Amino acid sequence: MKKHNYSAGPCILPQEVFKQSAEAILDFNNSGLSILEISHRSKDFLAVMEEARALVLELLGLEGKGYQALFLSGGASLEFLMVPYNVMKVDGKAAYLDSGTWASSAIKEAKHFGETVVVASSKSENYNHIPKNYTIPADASYFHCTSNNTIFGTQMKSFPKTAAPLICDMSSDIFSKAIDFSQFDLIYAGAQKNMGPAGTTLVVVKEEILGKTGRTIPSILDYQQHISKESMYNTPPVFPVYASLLTLQWLKKLGGIAAIEKINDAKANLLYTEIDRNPLFIGTAAKEDRSTMNATFLLVNEAHQETFDAMWKAAGISGLAGHRSVGGYRASMYNALPLESVQVLVDVMRNLENNI
Ligand SMILES: *Cc1c(COP(=O)(O)O)cnc(C)c1O
């Protein structure tokens, strides 16, 4: 039986993407070859890469606005250092918002390249909210933030206006809700949260911010090299890029980001309403900052844990355990998780209340 998959990443993808991917592994485009054995320079794969890059910009509303989309390797974690390498000026400084574990990992890498100013942090409250009311130094090479804090279940609902380029790690909420993506100069996201399987990282960059650091950048880490080679500087992760394309096609067919946002809001509403109504549960994130992608919550009385865990497992739910740094539960409700799966979880929460 197909599980209700609440895993935080890698995570659920649309069922039809699994099916189409499986078919392509056996025979890609009726070529008599598997997607796993074709050359990345073959006509069929060049078309995949071209369509994937174009569809990213189309879905984000960034066509013809000076942006390039790249499918790289190394995960979002490699972008933690590629960003300062490519955008922090030699002897310059960069500004960061410390809103969670991933933000703090990005800060750690930036420090290898120069002065790294942390404009605000919610670390002392175990990152239970998004810091607000901070000042970004006017002379920063860029400002970096994390739109959705996957581990702590908080999400930025607005972004600061900055003179400096605005750079965002959107690994866990890209393509989940309509925002003005043109306010960002660089966006990156590991595919495995909302776009595809693990193995590729999407980078969307406004070309005009590149080439200004005064630094020599090794080719493989240089965004301009990847752009000039149309995201084929070296062998790209062929299969993850293909499965990401299928997921993006699924999203477009559904009506794009505006359509999925409605579904995501309905799922989040359903679950948070139950967390707030049910006296056995309590949410861990500040209400105004709650993430529509990752809902974090605890049992008020830990004595109910064994019963609750047995109940959700019996209901076919998987991947609900919270991250060790928060404890409790984390329900990741990425684009491909159906509303019905959230209803199953809410029913289990109600049953627990009625049976205790
Ligand atoms: C998962 C995650 C990362 C790390 O991604 P990798 O691809 O494993 O390097 C970075 N940032 C955020 C917000 C994440 O959710």
Q: Note the pLDDT of residue 268.
A: 98
CA-nearest of 155, 30, 139 to 102 is 155
Q: Which is the closest atom of ligand 1 to the Cα of 148?
A: 13
Beta strands 201-206 and 67-72, pairing class: antiparallel
CA 103–ligand 1 middle distance (angstroms): 10
5 part of a folded domain: no
Task: For ligand 1, atom 7, name the residue with the nearest CA.
Answer: 75
Percent residues over pLDDT 70 in the chain: 100
- Give me ligand 1 centre to Cα 42, in Å: 31
The per-residue pLDDT for range 5-14, each reduced to its tens digit, is 999 999 999 9
Are 35 and 162 within one domain? Answer: yes
Catalytic residue among 89, 177, 193, 206: 193
Say how many domains are in the chain: 2
Banded model confidence at residue 1, pLDDT cuts 50, 70, 90: confident
2 noted as active-site residue: no
Q: Are residues 237 and 287 in the same domain?
A: no
Residues 327 and 204 in one domain: no
Q: Which residues contact 18 (CB under 8 A, 6 or more apart)?
A: none
pLDDT at 155: 98
CA-closest residue to ligand 1 atom 3: 76
In a domain? residue 72: yes
Contact 280, 349 (CB under 8 A): yes
Instruction: Give Cβ neighbours of residue 70 (< 8 Å, ≥ 6 apart).
Output: 53, 202, 203, 204, 205, 223, 226, 227, 231
* 173 catalytic per annotation: no
Residue 28 lies in a domain: yes
CATH number (domain holding residue 110):
3.40.640.10
Q: What is the pLDDT of residue 248?
A: 98
Q: Find the catalytic residue in 89, 93, 98, 169.
A: 169
| pLDDT of the residue at 77 | 98
CA-to-CA distance for 253 and 95, rounded, in angstroms?
38
Q: What is the arithmetic mean of pLDDT over 110-118?
A: 98
Q: What per-residue confidence (pLDDT) applies to 227?
A: 98
pLDDT bracket for residue 356 (50, 70, 90): confident
SS3 154: strand
Nearest CA to ligand 1 atom 1: 171
Task: Find where tokens 């090299």 sit.
Answer: 225
What does pTM read for this prediction? 0.98
Domain boundary among 228, 254, 280: 254
Q: What are phi and psi of 247, to 5 degrees?
A: -70, -40
Residue among 102, 148, 192, 330 to mutate when testing ligand 1 (max atoms within 8 A of CB): 102
Please state, in angstroms and as integers, the Cα–Cα distance from residue 256 to each residue in 103, 262, 335, 352, following that order. Answer: 28, 11, 11, 37
Domain match, 78 and 178 both: yes
Q: Is 250 a catalytic residue?
A: no
User: Residue 45: is its pLDDT beyond 90?
Assistant: yes
Residue 269 in tokens = 């509403």
Does the pLDDT at position 16 exceed 90?
yes
> What mean pLDDT is predicted for residues 232-254?
98
- Round to whole Å and give the CA distance between 330 and 236: 32
pLDDT > 90 fraction of the chain, expressed in percent and rounded: 99
Q: What is the rounded CA–CA span in Å between residue 238 and residue 245?
A: 11
Are residues 339 and 219 part of one domain? Answer: no
Distance of CA 189 from the midpoint of ligand 1 (Å): 7
3-state secondary structure of 198: coil
Domain that holds residue 286: 257-355
| C-alpha 83 – ligand 1 centre gap (Å) | 14
Same domain, 198 and 277: no
State the closest ligand 1 atom to the C-alpha of 198, by its place in the atom list counted from 1: 7
Distance (Å) of CA 116 to CA 64, 82, 90, 248, 345 = 32, 15, 12, 35, 42
CATH number, residue 289: 3.90.1150.10
- Binding pocket residue ranges, ligand 1, CB within 6 Å: 9, 75-77, 102, 146, 150, 169, 171-172, 190, 193
Ligand 1 center to residue 210 CA distance, Å? 23
pLDDT tens, residue by residue, 263-321:
999 999 999 999 999 999 999 999 999 999 999 999 999 999 999 999 999 999 999 99
| Domain stops at, among 231, 254, 277 | 254
- The answer on 265 and 222 residing in a single domain is no
Q: List % helix, strand, coil for the chain (3-state, nearest 5).
A: 40, 15, 40
